[in-house]
Structure 1
């Protein structure tokens, strides 16, 4: 099963990234905003593990440099690992023919494991010379514009000798792929497999040096043109233990009411087509490799209290029977139930040791997702299961320890540079409390966040946002406002670590906090202290005087340097009561009309209590419309638009 992977210079990933799948039970989760490379990493795993070739090559971030991916696998019944990988040669790093051919005959024995002779090596593992006709030879020659890449396998053979074997391929300009010869490079790189693993799968190791050594050794050996059957056999063994389920990306994924295919005369065709397309279910439903008892247990746990039975009828068509005796075709079965059946079959398959699932929760009820999370934690002790998800439901105090966060690090021209972080190594791992996970985990699925102190702040700001989105004609302003995910901090003391987390994972953020975050006022109503980092305060003055030009200077500095907005009048309740001529309307909207004549302190307390229990959608709409007239709202919107 897959234990670790390392990759560099592929798709969105400019730098080296190391992912470890060894620690503890449970699935590993890939989370993050859309288009941050989660599926691309699954595709790299698949290309490493599968013995068959794709019709195209995964794009490199920088075509001038080498790209590589290596996956480390634990083999059943042995302590020895196998490393499978792909190296794509960079256009700007091609070695000269003199460098490739340098060394002559005296170097030949150094390239063979243990310094053995070439004939001995060819006899090992039933390898044989390849005889090619002239037409075949021409197909295997490098042409101008080709991209050269190598599929690598590193392992210990039965006699204990380290084998490093490679097959060269050419990605042609016509986008097809041709294979060339197999080679063995052996001990020329001068490393034991333990050292190779250390160089590839340690955080601070330099995998580039290993890649350069392997490429140099491969190029020296290419004239031998030997073929090794065991190379392919090893790849096949690993491939048989791997399965990946990727999201459907072709046309016709969803039905729509305008389609002619839903007419009555096409009904039988659609029923049969649905069964054909559900290939995971049709192939595994009656397969001997599936543990039937375990599969039934998992599936029934997901769908409880309902019971569904999938079975094949004439010509491979699948029907589903629900408890109570009702039978219906697969096409009429809800997506969540189909996904649950597919999931149960894959997890209970006896041969699959590495399983990659992309959004397996599609169409599922939230309660089913919670159950799936529990099953993944329980059933993954002897499997490596990787789940790509956009569902926060999978993330809790247990699974977050095994989650990788994918983020956009920076923009290069029109391209995003993405990165991957193990969440427990980010600032989140340091500040996380179990009680806060439900709110804070939203950060990992956001493209931009707005941090607020409490739920009352969130309710009021949501009302403001709602009015803007319903009435604003400025498309850019609407787009900007709509991109914010509001996160409740539960007090201003959390702002610094959350800001650090956002910086750590390259997530754009802004914060809206109470005035006392930076300004302290004494019992006389005078400014007592101001955070020295933001403002040099030298003389005592009443707060109402300070809220003129001095406050503007401080506010501008906070917004520019810290992405921080502070309410001018105090906290969120002070803001709502800040304009006397609009105060009564606020109280009416919140059903607090009887508090109009009460002291300001009591009004404030009543508003606080009301917001704590929440307001209706109608109240939110009215509140947003009314607050749109406030000067402070204009200042807030200007801040958020920057």
Structure 2
């Protein structure tokens, strides 16, 4: 199972990001298009066997080291694999200064929680390490171990120290170097030319840097408190030079690897320790130092990924993961002008539908790889229509629905997606399932039932399920703990935030505040918070009115033709309003909570508040405060000052009246809250107010406030 990932300078992510998979499935990735969700799935694929990829992922900054690392826990519960992909620019390799001795690896104090993580320690662990020989007595054949590292605990508590012991099996190392099948070992990374900062021998492969794949196998003995490195292997990725290479990446085994701080790397991924002299980047540079490593140059006929030790590990690992992802631009969407909808194209369309249904066909052809009872139960649980959509192969091996080939063409997209999910959940060897937008064409009730089905199967069969979505139906108070929000920051660079960590201590308050519509906030690009129902009605109507350029097919919106102030700000206003989510926070006492949450999410937020907020002596940054007290007083003030008969009549019809100084409006005394107020009256009132807005009144100041929001 995938336990966590860590990446830096990867595609659209400049800073280091990490995501843990420890909470309740499914893990949900949300965020606008282009915020990096698919890039993370791409990164996970890059950590698997090379023939799963036809390209490499470019770094965000080609002058800096880029990496994507995954930590997997195997079924036997005492083995883990860390796999990753690394890009090292030539300028970084040239100027890197490596550590000289193995004694430099650990200089800090650690506790057991650093080694194993507090939540992964057994309660019956003894208080000291075993002093038995560490040369592989419990880890299998000694000859298999390229490096065995074990810790000995001198004492417990905050001052506990870990002592590193290493042994390298020279015989095994010798076997690696002289394996004849892999061809000669040749140093194809020569000394750098310091005047040009290029490695001449590889200039024809990549002009800026080199790509590597690596895998580290760990053995964990919790009872004896041992963590050992069984194998560390790495490949150099030789990228295709032209389209004639058919997109194949050739792999070359990297030999003579350093074994620097591999246990430290595990600990850093496991516990996110910050009190260490090391960084992941430095560990990778140390172990892949160009002056030390050697790369096997092999014949083209010997370049299959399975020929290297690293690819052997990754191929086995890849068997336990499965992905779904859309192939852009070849989906099911058609249009009425297409030649393909004509009757004589039905057979061709059916053949195309068969290709798109490859998952179902593969399931029916290889049912021994799946648990059929689980698949049937999940499909029925999601759709409640399994009897209406029975999939089978005909005598020629082609897919039919209810014994009818052509019914496949009319099977709803949501039904097909539900079938795909049920099949993947039933896979006997799939321990990590990654689904890109599995809700296409699904009714919201399908989505809710799918979440429950995923959760049950993940718990019962120890699976990790990760998915992306743009569907707010996935976000409920019960899925927030497993949700990650992706966002675009400055210069279109992206970042990731754990929603679960942000709402952990305030979930009840947030649920009450938003009437369980938290998804409105977490899917937003910008948020304008207001206090209550009157403001929500006014602001949403304002948004609708100001986004309407045309009143009808022949008449421009008079708001912009009669008000020069609005006309001057029209483009900016419409830009900010099209991205704006308006949310109610049920009173000024929630301003601090909303501000803190949005700041953590890197979500731009502003606040529209009554005048009594000033009495609280709170931070009024990014706040607009009604100068006359509240929104109702703003409306009455504009009625009295604008000399607009239509506005006067509308306010009279709404039965909005002044109140005594010092008193607060309640219930039906608020704007639009009387029972007989219609939607037409709300629209007419907002239009009349904006016809008369200018920079001197509160409504004009709100326009300026929103324009500034667009520029911030």
When the two structures are superposed, what TM-score results if normalisation uses the length of structure 2?
0.73
Equivalent position of 2:74 in the other structure: 75
The CA deviation string for residues 15-39 of structure 1, in whole angstroms up to 9 with x for no partner, is 1111111x24321111122211111
SS at match of 2:370: coil
For the Cα contact (< 8 Å) 2:55–2:249, is it kept in 1? no
For the Cα contact (< 8 Å) 2:93–2:285, is it kept in 1? no
Q: Confirm or deny that 1:284 pairs with 2:350.
A: no
For the Cα contact (< 8 Å) 1:318–1:329, is it kept in 2? no
Following the alignment from structure 1 to structure 2, what is the Cα–Cα distance between the partners of residues 505 and 355?
Answer: 27
Equivalent position of 1:143 in the other structure: 203
Equivalent position of 2:65 in the other structure: 66
Following the alignment from structure 1 to structure 2, what is the Cα–Cα distance between the partners of residues 614 and 284?
Answer: 59
Q: Confirm or deny that 1:189 pairs with 2:259.
A: yes
Equivalence map 1:234-313=2 (5 Å): 234-251=313-330, 253-286=332-365, 287-304=367-384, 307=387, 308-313=389-394
- 2:478 maps to which of 363, 373, 398: 398
Q: Deviation of residue 610 (structure 1)?
A: 4.8
Following the alignment from structure 2 to structure 1, what is the Cα–Cα distance between the partners of residues 211 and 378?
Answer: 42
- 2:272 maps to which of 192, 200, 203: 203
Following the alignment from structure 2 to structure 1, what is the Cα–Cα distance between the partners of residues 213 and 77?
Answer: 23
Equivalent position of 2:173 in the other structure: 121
Q: Confirm or deny that 1:163 pairs with 2:215.
A: no
Q: Deviation of residue 223 (structure 1)?
A: 5.5
- 2:438 maps to which of 350, 353, 360: 360
Following the alignment from structure 1 to structure 2, what is the Cα–Cα distance between the partners of residues 293 and 588?
Answer: 68
- 1:215 maps to which of 273, 281, 288: 288
SS at match of 2:24: coil
For the Cα contact (< 8 Å) 1:449–1:484, is it kept in 2? yes
The CA deviation string for residues 134-179 of structure 1, in whole angstroms up to 9 with x for no partner, is 9x99xx9623444411110101489976211011113366486653
Q: Deviation of residue 279 (structure 1)?
A: 1.5
Equivalence map 1:323-472=2 (5 Å): 329-381=407-459, 382-411=462-491, 416-426=492-502, 428-433=503-508, 434-436=511-513, 438-470=516-548, 471=557, 472=560
SS at match of 2:18: strand
CA 1:612/1:272 → structure 2, altered by over 3 Å: closer, same or farther? farther
Q: Deviation of residue 306 (structure 1)?
A: 6.7
Equivalent position of 1:130 in the other structure: 182
CA 1:314/1:476 → structure 2, altered by over 3 Å: closer, same or farther? farther
For the Cα contact (< 8 Å) 1:26–1:379, is it kept in 2? no
SS at match of 2:490: strand
Q: Deviation of residue 334 (structure 1)?
A: 1.2
Following the alignment from structure 1 to structure 2, what is the Cα–Cα distance between the partners of residues 133 and 125?
Answer: 7
Moved more, 177-186 or 275-284: 177-186
Following the alignment from structure 1 to structure 2, what is the Cα–Cα distance between the partners of residues 334 and 501?
Answer: 39
Following the alignment from structure 1 to structure 2, what is the Cα–Cα distance between the partners of residues 532 and 76?
Answer: 53
For the Cα contact (< 8 Å) 2:476–2:518, is it kept in 1? no
For the Cα contact (< 8 Å) 2:573–2:706, is it kept in 1? no
Following the alignment from structure 1 to structure 2, what is the Cα–Cα distance between the partners of residues 451 and 24?
Answer: 30
SS at match of 1:208: helix
Equivalent position of 1:106 in the other structure: none
The CA deviation string for residues 273-331 of structure 1, in whole angstroms up to 9 with x for no partner, is 1121221122123432121111111111111267421223364443334xxx9985222
SS at match of 1:288: helix
More helix by share: 1
SS at match of 2:518: helix
Following the alignment from structure 1 to structure 2, what is the Cα–Cα distance between the partners of residues 291 and 125?
Answer: 44
Q: Deviation of residue 86 (structure 1)?
A: 0.8
For the Cα contact (< 8 Å) 1:28–1:387, is it kept in 2? yes
Following the alignment from structure 1 to structure 2, what is the Cα–Cα distance between the partners of residues 219 and 602?
Answer: 76
Following the alignment from structure 2 to structure 1, what is the Cα–Cα distance between the partners of residues 398 and 314?
Answer: 34
Q: Deviation of residue 123 (structure 1)?
A: 3.9
For the Cα contact (< 8 Å) 2:647–2:685, is it kept in 1? yes
CA 1:91/1:607 → structure 2, altered by over 3 Å: closer, same or farther? farther
Following the alignment from structure 2 to structure 1, what is the Cα–Cα distance between the partners of residues 77 and 177?
Answer: 19
CA 1:231/1:150 → structure 2, altered by over 3 Å: closer, same or farther? same
The CA deviation string for residues 579-631 of structure 1, in whole angstroms up to 9 with x for no partner, is 345899679769x8494799889998535385387965434432332221343
Q: Deviation of residue 8 (structure 1)?
A: 0.9
Equivalence map 1:435-584=2 (5 Å): 435-436=512-513, 438-470=516-548, 471=557, 472=560, 474-518=570-614, 520=615, 531=617, 562-580=621-639
For the Cα contact (< 8 Å) 1:141–1:180, is it kept in 2? no
SS at match of 2:368: coil
Moved more, 441-450 or 201-210: 201-210
Q: Confirm or deny that 1:623 pairs with 2:701.
A: no
The CA deviation string for residues 176-225 of structure 1, in whole angstroms up to 9 with x for no partner, is 66535313456x434464x3311344324421221122212x75231666
Q: Deviation of residue 337 (structure 1)?
A: 1.0
For the Cα contact (< 8 Å) 1:400–1:423, is it kept in 2? yes
Following the alignment from structure 1 to structure 2, what is the Cα–Cα distance between the partners of residues 129 and 118?
Answer: 20
Equivalent position of 1:152 in the other structure: 214
When the two structures are superposed, what TM-score results if normalisation uses the length of structure 1?
0.81
Aligned-pair RMSD on alpha carbons? 3.7
For the Cα contact (< 8 Å) 2:2–2:464, is it kept in 1? yes
Moved more, 61-70 or 28-37: 28-37
Moved more, 113-122 or 620-629: 113-122
Following the alignment from structure 2 to structure 1, what is the Cα–Cα distance between the partners of residues 627 and 287?
Answer: 63
The CA deviation string for residues 115-138 of structure 1, in whole angstroms up to 9 with x for no partner, is 55665335479954423799x99x
Following the alignment from structure 2 to structure 1, what is the Cα–Cα distance between the partners of residues 356 and 375?
Answer: 21
- Structure 1 unmatched ranges of 5 or more: 104-110, 521-529, 534-557
SS at match of 1:3: strand
For the Cα contact (< 8 Å) 1:3–1:73, is it kept in 2? yes
SS at match of 2:670: helix
Q: Confirm or deny that 1:637 pairs with 2:637.
A: no
For the Cα contact (< 8 Å) 1:167–1:179, is it kept in 2? no
SS at match of 1:250: coil
Q: Deviation of residue 572 (structure 1)?
A: 2.5
For the Cα contact (< 8 Å) 2:185–2:294, is it kept in 1? no
